[in-house]
Amino acid sequence: MMIVLLIVDGCSSAKENEPNRPNILLLMSDNHSWNHLGCYGDPVVRTPNIDSLAQQGVRFTNAFCAAPSCTPARAAMLTGQDIWRLEEGANLWGTLPSDFQTYTDLLEKAGYLVGYQGKGWGPGNYEAGGRGRNPAGNQYDSFEAFFNKREKGQPFTYWFSSRNPHRPYELDAQGAQIDLAAIEVPPYLPDNDIVKGDMADYYAEVQDFDQQIAPFIQFLKEKGEMENTIVIICSDNGWQMPRGLANLYEFGTKIPLIITMPERFTGGRVIEDFVSLNDLAPTFLELAGIPLPNEMTAKSLVNLLTSDKSGRIEAERDYMVTARERHAFVREGGVGYGGRSIITKDFLYIRNYEPEQWPAGDPPLYGDVDAHMLHYPSPTKVYILKNKDREGVEKLFNLAFGKRPAEELYDLRDDPYQMDNVAEKADYNQTKNMLSEKLNAYLKSTNDPRVVGGEMAWEGAKYFQERDKTPTPSKSLQKELNLKEEYDYVK
């Protein structure tokens, strides 16, 4: 589909308006759940730079990504569209067809300098989609190198995409000074020193991300650009633990989101409205004075940012829809595991379209969890696999790795960790039906082929990482878990 960029009087290139167009600095972590920051109440991890920005800005407590998977979550953010509208863009290690314009393209056409550092969109193959560069823009080695390309007065958008805290973690991270005894293990994971050590290594990388942020803020201040720059702190999806990444539970889809620009937005606020990473695209375009393409399904956050209120602001932002298709190449034939979910303040409803498949990937590798080929250390996953038949671990194994029914429903008021599926309980029939209908209405309004019919281009789409199709576990885990030297999913 081709998107026509309309230029209207008063919001295009008029010089008198240019100083009002803000710079945009997006600082993103990788596989980082919302609650693992000091400003979100984590008692262990130390993130002073992010916490300071949260005090100056707006912190969102119900922010979600479009999909619990890097590539589609980033594609959805760039395009402002749900993943089922992006064809092959719904998959990890896929592509993003050039028909889908991104906010980076639109800002660049309007005169912005556009760049990124680190991961950007991906992993995937952007050339296969007909693109000449990463959808995130032009790649730079540093913010300073990017800034030096800027013409005087030119607005810019820059995306620093950290690889922290993506696995593999640095094991037994030195210098992080994390107190294992203080770590609170969520009840869907075994509570022992192995898991706490794994979480400590994760926390160390979150702290590294916090340290990466400081030089960007300092550079903006030195260049006198802080006042006219909107700074966004976020992650792309949830943490890389069992029931996190690649799952439609909160631990896979709920993310931290902090936005600050003290000169324009009242700071020190906490907003409870349900918002999406996708909402950043229309937000950036509106702030830059660029008309929003009709194809965008996301909604600008400008009204929330320019408000002086906290708590709930827009009544209609009372739910969020998320989705998944194929994550890694982890099932025979490369089939995916399609799902849709809707979450409100009190409930999470999940619809699984292929309940006959293994949601975590085919055994024994269960490749949609942690190290998808078991080619690097994943202590929590390995502990659960080794002890799956033990009392106290068996339930956790089934929750993370076992097959799931077509429908799941969780009462978040009593079950915040989503461990008790009440979908088949009579007392919840009315709630389940209401959420199912509300989900269907949204999917129909956004033309999801899963509901309205039509081609599901993500099914059978090319996966651009050949080695994943014949995974070779590490020698140590071959021995520890009694695994073969190689597995073949291309059958």
pLDDT tens-digit map of 252-289: 999 999 999 999 999 999 999 999 999 999 999 999 99
Q: Is the pLDDT of residue 371 over 80?
A: yes
Cβ contact 255:31 at 8 Å: no
pLDDT tens-digit map of 20-36: 899 999 999 999 999 99
Q: Is the pLDDT of residue 93 over 50?
A: yes
Out of 168-182, 197-211, 308-322, pick the least confident: 168-182
The whole-number pLDDT of residue 32 equals 98
Show the tokens assigned to 99: 């028909």
The whole-number pLDDT of residue 60 equals 98
Q: Is the pLDDT of residue 18 over 80?
A: no
Size (the chain), residues:
491
Q: How confident is the model at residue 1 (pLDDT cuts 50, 70, 90)?
A: very low
Average pLDDT of the residues of the chain: 94
Q: Which residues contact 81 (CB under 8 A, 6 or more apart)?
A: 100, 278, 295, 296, 297, 298
Q: Is the pLDDT of residue 490 over 50?
A: yes
Biggest CA-to-CA distance, the chain = 69
378 alpha-carbon distance from chain centroid:
20
The whole-number pLDDT of residue 491 equals 76
Q: Nearest 10 degrees: CA dihedral of 480, 484, 485, 490? A: -140
159 alpha-carbon distance from chain centroid:
15
| Better-scored residue on pLDDT, 347 or 177 | 347
Q: Is the pLDDT of residue 6 over 80?
A: no
Q: How confident is the model at residue 15 (pLDDT cuts 50, 70, 90)?
A: very low
pLDDT tens-digit map of 31-58: 999 999 999 999 999 999 999 999 999 9
pLDDT tens-digit map of 320-362: 999 999 999 999 999 999 999 999 999 999 999 999 999 999 9
Q: How confident is the model at residue 383 (pLDDT cuts 50, 70, 90)?
A: very high
The whole-number pLDDT of residue 135 equals 98
Share of the chain above pLDDT 70, in %: 96
What kind of architecture, by CATH, is found in domain 19-317? 3-Layer(aba) Sandwich (3.40)
Provide the residue ranges of all domains of the chain, joining segments of one domain with +: 19-317, 321-452+461-480
What Rg value do the Cα atoms of the chain yield, rounded?
22
Q: Is the pLDDT of residue 9 over 60?
A: no
Q: Which residues contact 85 (CB under 8 A, 6 or more apart)?
A: 295, 297, 446, 447, 448
Cβ contact 163:176 at 8 Å: no
Please name the residue that has the structure tokens 């800027």: 150
Burial environment of residue 38 by CB neighbours within 10 A (0 to 12, 13 to 18, 19 or more): buried
Share of the chain above pLDDT 90, in %: 93
Phi and psi, residue 232, nearest 5°: -120, 130
Q: Which of 44, 419, 30 is nearest to 255 (CA)?
A: 30
Over range 74-78, report the average pLDDT: 98
Q: Is the pLDDT of residue 428 over 60?
A: yes
Q: Is the pLDDT of residue 171 over 90?
A: no
Residue type, 24: I
The whole-number pLDDT of residue 175 equals 65
Q: Which of 83, 78, 106 is nearest to 279 (CA)?
A: 78
Burial environment of residue 472 by CB neighbours within 10 A (0 to 12, 13 to 18, 19 or more): middle
Q: Is the pLDDT of residue 180 over 80?
A: yes
Please name the residue that has the structure tokens 């407590």: 61
Q: Is the pLDDT of residue 2 over 70?
A: no
Q: Is the pLDDT of residue 481 over 80?
A: yes
The whole-number pLDDT of residue 253 equals 98
Cα–Cα distances (Å) from 480 to 89, 368, 374, in that order, read 37, 20, 11
The whole-number pLDDT of residue 177 equals 83
Q: What's the predicted TM-score (pTM) here? A: 0.94
Question: How far is the C-alpha of 486 from the C-alpha of 488, rounded, in Å?
Answer: 7
